[in-house]
Chain A
Amino acid sequence: MDSVVLLRPVPDPVEELELNDDGDDLDRDYLGYVLNEFDDHALEEALLLKEKGGGTVTVFGIGSADEMEQILYAALAKGADEAFKLGDQLEHMSVASQAELVISALQDRSYDLILTGVQASDELDGQLGVWVAAKLGLPHVSVVVGVTGSAGSVKVTKEFWGGITADYEVRPPAVLGIQAAEQAPRYVAVSLIRQAQQEGSLTQLDLEAPSDSSGVRITAVRLPETGGGAEMITGDESEAAERIIEIIRGAGV
Chain B
Amino acid sequence: MSDVFVITEHLQGILTETSFELLAMARGIAGSGKVTAGLVGSGVGDLASQLGGADAIVVVDDPAFEVFNPEGHARVFAALVDESQAPVVLVPYTSMGMDVASDLAARSGMPLVSFCTSVGAEGALGATCRLYAGKIEADIEVDGERAIFAVLAGSTPAEQGRSGGAAIVETVSSPVDAGSLSVTCLGVTLPAGGDVDITSQDVLVVVGRGIESKDNIEEAQELADALGGAVAASRPIIDQGWLPKSRQVGKSGLTVKPKVYLTLGVSGAPEHIEGMKDAGTIISVNTDPQAPIFGVAHYGWVGDIFDILPELVEKLEAG
Which of A138, A216, A228, A240 has its CB near the most chain B CB atoms (within 10 A)? Answer: A216
Quick check: A218 and B189 within 8 Å, CB to CB? no
Interface residues of B in 189-205 (CB under 8 A from A): 189-191, 202-203
Q: Is the interface of B mostly helix, strand, loop or mixed?
A: mixed
Dominant secondary structure of chain A at its interface with chain B: mixed
- Given the contacts A143-B252, A184-B239, A215-B142, A168 and B294 also touching, CB distance less than 8 Å: no
Knowing A215-B111, A244-B312, A251-B280 are in contact, say whether A124-B299 is a contact too (CB < 8 A).
Answer: no
Q: B251-274 toward A: CB 8 Å interface, digit per residue (1/0)? A: 111110001101000010100000
Cα distance, A241 to B248, chains bound together (Å): 25
> Closest Cβ of chain A: how far from B129's Cβ, in Å?
6
Bound together, the chains give a CA A37 to CA B271 distance in angstroms of: 14
Selected from B186, B267, B289, B307, the residue in CB contact (under 8 A) with A227 is B289
Which of A141, A232, A237 is most buried by chain B, counting CB atoms within 10 A of its CB? A237
Q: A-B contact count, CB below 8 Å?
A: 297
CB-defined contacts of A174 to chain B, threshold 8 Å: 182-183
Chain B interface size, as a band, is 35 or more
Chain A binder among B22-30, B63-71, B170-178: B63-71
Looking at the complex, which of A85-93, A158-166, A192-200, A202-210 is the stretch in contact with chain B? A158-166
Contact call B136/A222, Cβ cutoff below 8 A: yes
- B141 near A219: Cβ-Cβ < 8 Å: yes
Q: Are B311 and A237 in contact (CB under 8 A)?
A: yes
**Interface hit among B54-62, B81-89, B93-101:** B93-101
**Residues of A close to B123: CB separation below 8 A:** none
- B301 with A233: CB separation less than 8 A: yes
Q: Which of B135, B181, B190, B228 contacts A139 (CB 8 A)?
A: B181
CA distance in complex: A183, B252 (Å): 18
- Distance, CA A131 to CA B74, complexed state (A): 12
Q: 1/0 per position for A220-251, CB-CB distance to B under 8 A? A: 11111111111111000110111111011011
Interchain CB contact under 8 A, A220 and B107:
no
Are A253's CB and B136's CB within 8 A?
no
Q: Which residues of B contact A166 (CB under 8 A)?
A: 67-68, 185-189
Closest Cβ–Cβ distance, residue B16 to chain A (whole Å): 8
Min CB distance, A79 to chain B, in Å?
A: 20
Contacts A130-B74, A164-B191, A250-B281 known; list 4 others, CB within 8 Å. A126-B101, A134-B74, A184-B239, A248-B283
Interface residues of A (CB under 8 A from B): 11, 13, 16-17, 26, 37, 41, 95-96, 99, 118-119, 121-128, 130-131, 133-135, 138-143, 155, 157-171, 174, 177, 179-180, 183-184, 213-233, 237-238, 240-245, 247-248, 250-253
Could you say which of B16, B139, B259, B295 contacts A224, with CB atoms under 8 Å apart?
Answer: B295
